[in-house]
Structure 1
Amino acid sequence: MGLPSLLVASLVAALLAYWSFKVAHFFYDYWNSPVRRLPGPPSASFVYGHEKEVDEGGTALIARWVEKYGPTMRLQSFIGMNKLYTADLKALNHIMMNSYTYQKPEWLTYRMEEVVGKGILSVEGDTHKRQRKVMNPAFSASQIRELSDIFVEKSLDLRDIWEAEIRKQGGVGIIDVNHWLYRATLDIIGLAGFNYEFNALSGGEKTGALHRAFGKVLENLVKFTPLSFLRAAFPALRWLPERVDSSLKVSRGIMDDIGRQLIATGKQAIHHSSKTEQNSLQSKDLLTVLLRSNMATDIPEDERMSEDEVNAQIFSFMAAGQETSSTATVWALYALMKAPDVQKKLRNELLQVPSDSPSADELNALPYLDAVIRECLRLHTPLPLTFRISAKDDVLPLSTPVRDTSGKTHESIHIQKGQMITIPIIPIHEEKTIWGEDSLEFRPERWERVPEAANAIPGAWGNTMAFFGGPRACIGYRFALLEMKALLFALIRAFELEPAGPVEDIGKKLFIVYRPFLKSDPEAGTQLPLKVRLYQEA
Structure 2
Amino acid sequence: MSLILYVLSPFLAVFLYIFYQLVVAPRFNVLRKLPGPPVPTWFGNHLQHVLNPTVTPKVYDIFVKRYGRSVRIRGLGPWDERLLTLDPVSLTHIVKNTAVYEKPWQSRALITSLIGCGMLSAEGQVHKRQRRVALPAFSGQNMRSLVDIAFKKGIELRDAWVDLLPAAGSETTSAARIDVCQFLSRVTFDVVGLAGFDYSFNSIRDETNELFVAYRDMFEVAISQGSAFRTLLSIYLPRINRLFPDKTVRTLDRCREVIHRVAGSLIQDKKQKIAEGEKSGDPYDGKDLLTLLLKSNTATDLPPEHRISDDDILNNINTFMFAGSDTSSLSMTWTLFLLAQHPEIQDRLRAELLSVAPEGIRDLSELTEDQVQSLHNALSALPLLHNVTRESLRLIPPLHSTLRVATQDDEVPTLYPVHNRDGTVNEGKHSFTVPRGTFVHLSVEAFNLDKAVWGEDAWEFNPDRWDNLPEAAQRYPWHFSSILSFSAGPRACPGLRFALIEIKTIYYILLTNFVFRQTEDEITRHNVVLTRPYLRGKFKDGTQCPLLVSRFTPS
Q: Is this a same-fold pair by TM over 0.5?
A: yes
2:513 & 2:492 partners in 1: Cα distance?
A: 34
Equivalent in the alignment of 2:420: 404
Q: 1:246 to 1:15 in 2, by over 3 A?
A: farther
Aligned-partner SS, 1:111: helix
Contact 2:417 2:425 in 1 (8 A): no
Q: 1:247 to 1:156 in 2, by over 3 A?
A: closer
Q: CA deviation at 1:73?
A: 1.0
CA deviations over 1:202-238 (Å, ceiling 9, x no partner): 1164x22453266237643563454642552478x77
2:42 & 2:548 partners in 1: Cα distance?
A: 46
Structure 1 residue aligned with 2:274, among 249, 270, 277? 270
Equivalent in the alignment of 1:249: 253
Contact 1:40 1:69 in 2 (8 A): yes
Contact 2:67 2:419 in 1 (8 A): no
Alignment of 1:494-509 (within 5 A): 494-501=513-520, 505-509=522-526
Equivalent in the alignment of 1:24: 20
Range 424-433 or range 102-111, more displaced:
424-433
Q: Please tell me the root mean square deviation across aligned C-alpha atoms, in Å.
A: 2.5
Q: 1:408 to 1:190 in 2, by over 3 A?
A: same
2:153 & 2:88 partners in 1: Cα distance?
A: 39
Aligned-partner SS, 1:421: strand
Equivalent in the alignment of 1:518: 535
Equivalent in the alignment of 2:397: 381
Contact 1:227 1:242 in 2 (8 A): no
Structure 2 residue aligned with 1:77, among 72, 75, 78? 75
Aligned-partner SS, 1:372: helix
2:103 & 2:325 partners in 1: Cα distance?
A: 21
Equivalent in the alignment of 1:3: none
Equivalent in the alignment of 2:151: 152
CA deviations over 1:234-254 (Å, ceiling 9, x no partner): 78x778734145653343222
Letter of the aligned partner of 1:66 in structure 2? V
1:218 & 1:255 partners in 2: Cα distance?
A: 15
Aligned-partner SS, 2:348: helix
Equivalent in the alignment of 2:552: 535
Structure 2 residue aligned with 1:489, among 497, 500, 508? 508
Contact 2:214 2:254 in 1 (8 A): no
CA deviations over 1:169-189 (Å, ceiling 9, x no partner): 653222111121111111111
CA deviations over 1:254-288 (Å, ceiling 9, x no partner): 2111121110111122122223455x533211111
Q: CA deviation at 1:319?
A: 1.2
Contact 1:97 1:471 in 2 (8 A): yes
Equivalent in the alignment of 1:260: 264
Q: CA deviation at 1:191?
A: 0.8
Equivalent in the alignment of 1:314: 317
Contact 1:92 1:458 in 2 (8 A): no
Aligned-partner SS, 1:142: coil
Equivalent in the alignment of 1:443: 462
Q: CA deviation at 1:394?
A: 0.9
Letter of the aligned partner of 1:67 in structure 2? K
Q: CA deviation at 1:48?
A: 4.0
Range 163-172 or range 37-46, more displaced:
163-172
2:228 & 2:63 partners in 1: Cα distance?
A: 30
Aligned-partner SS, 1:75: strand
1:401 & 1:473 partners in 2: Cα distance?
A: 28
CA deviations over 1:335-359 (Å, ceiling 9, x no partner): 1111111111111111122333532
Structure 2 residue aligned with 1:419, among 438, 458, 468? 438
1:458 & 1:413 partners in 2: Cα distance?
A: 24
Structure 2 residue aligned with 1:433, among 447, 452, 467? 452
Letter of the aligned partner of 1:377 in structure 2? L
Structure 1 unmatched ranges of 5 or more: 1-5
Structure 1 residue aligned with 2:214, among 212, 215, 220? 212
Contact 2:356 2:379 in 1 (8 A): no
Letter of the aligned partner of 1:268 in structure 2? Q
Letter of the aligned partner of 2:77 in structure 1? I
Q: 1:445 to 1:277 in 2, by over 3 A?
A: farther
Contact 1:44 1:50 in 2 (8 A): no
Alignment of 1:42-191 (within 5 A): 42-54=38-50, 55=52, 57-80=55-78, 81-168=80-167, 171-191=174-194
Q: 1:270 to 1:18 in 2, by over 3 A?
A: farther
Q: 1:231 to 1:173 in 2, by over 3 A?
A: closer
Letter of the aligned partner of 1:108 in structure 2? S
Equivalent in the alignment of 1:467: 486
Range 209-218 or range 156-165, more displaced:
209-218
Contact 2:267 2:314 in 1 (8 A): yes
2:220 & 2:207 partners in 1: Cα distance?
A: 22
Aligned-partner SS, 2:350: helix
Contact 1:396 1:413 in 2 (8 A): yes
1:347 & 1:466 partners in 2: Cα distance?
A: 25
Letter of the aligned partner of 2:550 in structure 1? R
1:161 & 1:214 partners in 2: Cα distance?
A: 19
Identity %, equivalent residues: 33
2:337 & 2:262 partners in 1: Cα distance?
A: 35
Range 423-432 or range 454-463, more displaced:
454-463
Equivalent in the alignment of 1:292: 295
CA deviations over 1:71-129 (Å, ceiling 9, x no partner): 21111111121111111000000011111111111101001000111111111111101
Is 1:39 matched with 2:35? yes
Q: CA deviation at 1:27?
A: 4.3
Letter of the aligned partner of 1:262 in structure 2? L
Q: 1:281 to 1:79 in 2, by over 3 A?
A: same
CA deviations over 1:25-47 (Å, ceiling 9, x no partner): 45454222222121111123432
Contact 1:217 1:248 in 2 (8 A): no
Q: 1:38 to 1:499 in 2, by over 3 A?
A: same
Aligned-partner SS, 2:202: coil
Structure 1 residue aligned with 2:380, among 351, 356, 364? 364
Contact 1:457 1:465 in 2 (8 A): no
Structure 2 unmatched ranges of 5 or more: 359-363
Structure 2 residue aligned with 1:229, among 228, 232, 235? 232
2:340 & 2:507 partners in 1: Cα distance?
A: 12
Contact 2:516 2:548 in 1 (8 A): yes
CA deviations over 1:349-393 (Å, ceiling 9, x no partner): 111223335324233122211111000000011111111110111
2:175 & 2:258 partners in 1: Cα distance?
A: 41
Contact 1:89 1:458 in 2 (8 A): no
Aligned-partner SS, 2:270: helix
Letter of the aligned partner of 2:218 in structure 1? K
Q: CA deviation at 1:438?
A: 1.3
Q: CA deviation at 1:14?
A: 5.6
Contact 2:479 2:489 in 1 (8 A): yes
Q: 1:136 to 1:463 in 2, by over 3 A?
A: same
